[in-house]
Chain A
Amino acid sequence: MKKAKIIFTVVACCLLFVNGAVQGEDFEDSAIGQELVNIGLKFLDNPGDFFFNLHMANEDFSPVPFKKHGSIRWNFFPTTLPLSWMNLNLKVKAYGEKNFVPQIDIIGQYGDLLGLRMLEIEEGDVEPSFNDYSAGLVFSKTVAEGTQFYWGGKYSNVSMEVKLSSSSEVEFGDFKFSEVKFDIKDTFIFAGITHQKNMEDPKRLVVQMGYGLDYKKIVTRMMMSHEHYEWGIDILPEGMFVIHPFMGWHWNF
């Protein structure tokens, strides 16, 4: 049971309030309680979609800023905190914008759910596995002073397998969890704009909309990026949570 608690602290701690909601009969009947139950059911129906949406926060496919060669980024909320989902996003400017040829950036991202590595494997359990990565190319062109239009494509993958022995099953309201298994891959195309009001000030606004070819997932991002700190929201209209706030740290070099 201890292991089960660790798993759910790791994989669904933001859903723990649902556990309380579904056990309180009066609360369950209320509008908010019902909404929480619906959210919980949505998670149970497709946990992979929820993790894939979180994975979006780890990615940053906006172009390398003006006069920089690359960027390293770490998203600390809501992945590393509270889920122990470590991640790194790396951007490299492969070709600088010159005349009519756009800037070309190569971008990759990798993450790992450290909480899963802490699990003790018992007899009957399958060793937990987790993958999180994405890679892609971004083209950008300056369309006005301080404004870059960009477009590109990326391939994203998040997969996870956790299988519990019968003694480790987790009760979740009327449901029992014994296995979480998904493998979601998709190719996205996207376009967006970065806008820097003052060229001496690294602060810039990023807006972007992307579309997944397989799952037909729409992702919209609005982000404010400062010298090292950035924050924003991803909007996933069909997701368990429509709005995903995120915060990250980056170093542009």
Chain B
Amino acid sequence: MKNLFKFLRGGVVLLLAHLFVLPVFLLSQELKIIPYYSLGVVEGAFIPNKGDWNFSVNLLSDLGVMVKPSEIHSFIGFYELKYTGPGLKRQEGEKFTDRTMDHLVSLRHNFLISDSYFLKSQINYMKEYKRTGSNEPWGTGLYDFDRMGGMISVGRKFSDLTVLSLTGQYHTMKFPNYTDLLAEFQAGSGSAESSAGKQNHNIIQAGVSLDVDTNKLAFDIILMNYTKQHIAEATLSAGSYYGSDLQKDIIYNVSARRIQKVGETFTIAPEVAYKVKSSNQNYLHFESFGSTTPPVYFDDYYSYNEFAFFVPAAIALSKRFEFSVTPEWDYKLYKNRNPRNTDGVFLTNEKQSNNMFILDTGLCFKPNDVTRTTLFYVFQNQKSNMKYERYLPYNYTGNYMGIKFEYTF
């Protein structure tokens, strides 16, 4: 009976998948239809100077279609399945062995209001599964999340080379498996429910971007409002650490980029980005799990400034071969967070700072219009005055090399 059910379920899924794709071809007699398929595979090995070397694999499959019923309307349906395997991480707070699997579905409508104005609207849904352990089944990760929301953007073309866009986005982020283990432990088993959902938040984003020829200037404000997570406070009564205010984060992003062609074969695209994150959340440091010693309070623990600079450059060696190199510098300075020494002791006279440098090089072979094969080598170095690395790496040098295959139609 169970097998029969699975057969039937498979049939229903197949039917739905077919019903989704078939109308595209049914309509193709009258509409402009542009299908899109892309498959990317990255296979390599990373060798950090701390921890074990390991193989890494990343997979990406995109499936999309653009339907253009008239000159002023176009619709784009898109599905992406992405697997990110173990490897050197760019973000602080992740282990090299973490893996993620993402499903992304989006539907976009582009509307050419007039010769000068256009409107883009989009709804999207994303599901991310995250595995931090080798035996943990997919779907049970603490940081699995669902993101749902939409975007609307209005733009004006001042000329063929100058475009100004205003964009607004709203998304909800839900972490169905997340729970505050410490809070559960402290509150007892009867109150476990109150510790769930503390990562859930809403994201409101507003941005403006200006494109002038091959130059781009962008500015974004992102508000992250947590729906259940209260802020930690210095001293309340014993056993009570959180105040009545909910956590709110604000991020300001500004970036500028220029794409410059030098001759027929060389292209360089330098980009600078500056980010300011401000959070009202504070940090309570417990000596150990279940410790009876009162926690130490650290004010404004999560606010930081970050500056990044990239210089992607590519040179066409021939019609089929291209060599690319991208140096990247990233500096992150916490506003009030103290680093820790190797024993875990907080150094109260310093602020934590992380410096990262990445050099990404690749030799790309394009035998035809649809396939690309790239041999790549990445050097990554991160330095930080945070020396306590019992759980996460902060100071390391890593080498990552491998092969990337892409098929795009």
Contact = CB atoms under 8 A, between A and B. Distances in A.
* A and B are interacting partners: yes
B37 A153 contact: no
Given A100-B28, A235-B59, A243-B43, A139 B21 contact: yes
B52 to A, nearest CB: 7
B14 A136 contact: yes
A215 B129 CA distance: 12
A211 interface: yes
A189 B135 contact: no
B39 A207 contact: yes
Contacts, number: 104
A209 B43 contact: no
A119 interface: no
Nearest to A216: B138
Nearest to A152: B14
B376 interface: no
Contact of A218 (B10, B25, B53, B59): B59
A249 B265 CA distance: 44
Given A149-B35, A242-B55, A222 B409 contact: no
Given A187-B9, A191-B37, A207-B39, A100 B26 contact: yes
Contacts of A91: none
B315 to A, nearest CB: 28
Given A102-B22, A191-B63, A153 B57 contact: no
Contacts of B55: 242
Main secondary structure of the interface of A (DSSP, over half): strand
Contacts of A214: 6
B7 interface: yes
A85 interface: no
B139 interface: yes
Given A139-B21, A147-B409, A31 B135 contact: no
Given A45-B135, A218-B81, A237 B10 contact: no
Contacts of A187: 6, 9-10, 13
Contacts of A222: 41, 405
Contact of B6 (A100, A185, A215, A216): A185
A218 B41 contact: no
A101 B29 CA distance: 11
B61 A191 contact: yes
B81 A209 contact: yes
A80 interface: no
Most buried by A among B3, B10, B17, B81: B10
Contact of B14 (A45, A137, A216): A137
Interface string A172-200: 00000000000001010101110100000
Contacts of B21: 139, 151
B13 A102 contact: no
A73 interface: no
Interface in A202-231: 205, 207-209, 211, 213-216, 218, 220, 222
B83 interface: yes
Contacts of A235: 41, 43, 57, 59
A127 B62 CA distance: 46
A216 B409 contact: no
Contact of A143 (B14, B131, B409): B409
Given A151-B17, A151-B21, A189-B14, A216 B81 contact: no
Contact of A193 (B41, B81, B85, B409): B409
Interface in B16-70: 17-18, 21-22, 25-26, 28-29, 35, 37, 39, 41, 43, 52-53, 55, 57, 59, 61, 63
A144 B409 CA distance: 10
B24 to A, nearest CB: 9
Interface in B97-150: 99, 101, 129, 131, 134-135, 138-139
A221 to B, nearest CB: 10
B407 interface: yes
A220 B14 contact: no
A25 interface: no
A139 B23 CA distance: 13
Contact of B37 (A102, A136, A149, A211): A149
Contact of B59 (A100, A205, A209, A213): A209
Contacts of B52: 31
Contacts of A205: 407
Contacts of B22: 102, 139
A45 B405 CA distance: 32
Contacts of A130: none
B63 to A, nearest CB: 5
B287 to A, nearest CB: 33
Nearest to A102: B25
B370 interface: yes
Given A187-B6, A189-B14, 19 more contacts: A31-B52, A99-B29, A100-B26, A100-B28, A102-B22, A102-B25, A151-B21, A154-B10, A155-B7, A192-B37, A207-B39, A208-B39, A216-B101, A218-B101, A222-B41, A235-B41, A238-B131, A242-B55, A242-B57
Interface of B: 3, 6-7, 9-11, 13-14, 17-18, 21-22, 25-26, 28-29, 35, 37, 39, 41, 43, 52-53, 55, 57, 59, 61, 63, 81, 83, 85, 99, 101, 129, 131, 134-135, 138-139, 370, 405, 407, 409
Interface of A: 31, 42, 45, 99-102, 136-137, 139, 141, 143-144, 147, 149, 151-155, 185, 187, 189, 191-193, 195, 205, 207-209, 211, 213-216, 218, 220, 222, 235, 237-238, 242-243
